[in-house]
A and B are shown apart, each in its own frame.
Chain A
Amino acid sequence: MSRRIVVTGMGIIAPNGHGLDAYETALRNGTSGIRFQPLLEELKFGCRVAGVPENVDGLSQKYFTEEQLMAMNSNIKFAGIAAIDAWVDAGFEVPAEDSDEVFWDTGAIVGTGIGGMDTTGERLVPLTDSGKSRRLGSTIVEQVMGSGISAKIAGLLALGNQVTTNSCACSTGTEAIIEAMYRIQSGRAKRMLAGGSEAASQYTWAGFDAMRVLNRNFNDAPEKASRPMSASAAGFIPGSGAGVLMLESLESALERNARIYAEILGGAINCGGHRMGGSMTAPNPTSVQRCIRDALRESGINGNDVDAVNGHLTATFADPYEFNNWQKALDVSIDKFPLTNATKSLVGHGLGAAGGLEMVACVLQVYKGFVHGSVNCEDLHEKLQPYAASIVQKTRETSELDILAKASFGFGDVNACLLIKKWRG
């Protein structure tokens, strides 16, 4: 039998809270992290609200040295803060920079969807185009390279196993966790930091605004702007931040008497091939259903074992299709559909960070026994009315939350689904 995998640490820097306590409180209370962004107004964006973590400069002074900060854009700061927090939460000390100890059994798969666009937009392009590339100095490459976030994490924590950054648009964070699970299951690592991170940058969001997939109708009411499952949903709200989990073999966790938050039962990753109704930007429903079914099979459970679903649910036209796909894949009747929520209603759509931000919410819910409310769906979408009893609008305490399913879907027609289970010792 392959190795069992558990979660032994978590780190979160989200638009509505930094740290597990603040995040849990925000989730329980329905506190939104979506705020008006004056810069987006100045730049004439259609959507002028976004989810951006607060006090990042202040936190960065605490977490990083001046020398480190010279080469850290917002994406790398988010990923670094969440990774350090997950590391410490798992019971480890941040190693000294001049120590020669390397953690050969620990790696990191921390992904990003778009990457260091602030560095590209504010420094790389203007200096290069004005003939001043020499003035870029030595810190540009490490900030714009695809693997910039995982590379920095490796240096902060002296990681010696696989260290990489995956990227598959909005399913990045969830894919990272599944890939990390595979790495430990195959015996190639004892522990992996895994999750996703995304910068807060107008350059990251501009293309989405141009596609008209961001909600432009709530610029004067930011906290109401992210509206998954709502009849008045008109696009997603961009988010940012990072969520990182420490995955560990059960054997290693028990050996060092680590606190266990939850077990990762299994997961699946696939792509719809841009066929059968799928495209670069729309999911092939057959592939979504296959992905969920594969994850169930890998986890050795049935659809009716699932107690809660944390959906991808972005607040676009796709939300009702997503319910249809879950219902078919889980093979449960609508009246038996699991409790469902959308973390994006509170933090926006973190793109490559989404899976990380949302998985931390999922594990907290399973560990503490609650399902956080999805805000802004009081005017439930017509096609979701039949599911009304399953859609959690006000946070519910429940001792019966045992198995939770999380899925993320992304541009490129890619899907990832993960199942976690309450750890009962």
Chain B
Amino acid sequence: MTQDEVFGKVVEILSKYSKSDLPADKINMETSILDDLKINSARLVDIVLDFEDVFDIEVDDDDADSVITVGDGVKLIVSKL
């Protein structure tokens, strides 16, 4: 799976939790999950569980805590594929 494909799937996962009106084509690797997508910080644990299910990977707690931007999530996933 390419980084672009991972990016696409990550954006799809995040859209379920987002309370922001930001259109999908404005989301990039630097987009902040909490600030820009207005996602409740408690939901980060659900997002990481979705990463594990969709990409069939395991994410430990330290790695999970390092995810701030969309790009952090994409790079983390790619490193585990």
Residues of A participating in the B interface, judged by any CB pair closer than 8 Å: 65-67, 70, 97-98, 135, 137-139
Contact between B17 and A137, CB atoms less than 8 A apart: no
A-B contact pairs, 9 of them (CB 8 A): A67-B16, A67-B19, A70-B17, A70-B46, A135-B49, A137-B45, A137-B46, A138-B45, A139-B46
- Say whether chain A's binding surface is mostly helix, strand, loop, or mixed: loop
Residues of B within 8 A of A (CB): 16-19, 38, 42-46, 49
Q: In the complex, which residue of chain A has the Cβ closest to the Cβ of B48?
A: A137
**What residues on B are CB-neighbors of A135 within 8 Å?**
49
Q: A135-B49, A137-B49 are in contact. Are A66 and B42 (CB under 8 A)?
A: no
- Chain A residue, CB-CB nearest to B18: A67
Shortest CB–CB separation between residue B18 and chain A, in angstroms?
7
The distance from the CB of A345 to the nearest CB of chain B, in whole angstroms, is 43
Q: Which of A65, A70, A137, A139 has the most CB of B within 10 A?
A: A137
> For residue B38, which residues in chain A have a CB less than 8 angstroms away from its CB?
98
- Given the complex of chains A and B, what is the CA–CA distance between A67 and B46 in angstroms? 12
Interface centre among A70, A98, A138, A139 (most CB of B within 10 A): A138
Cα of A65 to Cα of B39 in the assembled complex, Å: 13
Specify the main secondary structure of chain B where it touches its partner.
helix
Tell me the bound Cα distance from A70 to B38 in angstroms. 16
Question: A137–B50 Cα gap in the complex (Å)?
Answer: 10
With a cutoff of 8 Å between Cβ atoms, the chain B residues found around residue A98 in the complex are 19, 38
A139 to B16, alpha carbons, bound, how many Å? Answer: 14
Counting chain B CB atoms within 10 Å of each CB, the highest count among A67, A97, A135 belongs to A67
Pick the 10 closest A-B CB pairs, nearest first: A138-B42, A137-B46, A138-B45, A138-B46, A137-B49, A138-B43, A137-B45, A67-B17, A97-B19, A66-B16
Residues of chain A within 8 A of B45, CB atoms compared? 137-138
Given the complex, which residues of B lie within 8 Å of A137, measured CB to CB?
A: 45-46, 49
In the assembled complex, the CB of B62 is this many whole angstroms from the nearest CB of chain A, namely: 14
Nearest neighbor of A97 in chain B, beta-carbon distance: B19
Chain A residues, CB < 8 A from B16: 66-67, 70
B46 to chain A, nearest CB (A): 4
Q: Which residue of A lies closest to B43 (CB)?
A: A138
Bound Cα distance from A137 to B48, whole angstroms: 9
How many whole Å from B49's CB to the nearest CB in chain A?
6
Min Cβ gap B73→A in Å is 16
| Complex Cα–Cα for A295 and B18 (A) | 49
Contacts of B43 in A (CB 8 A): 138
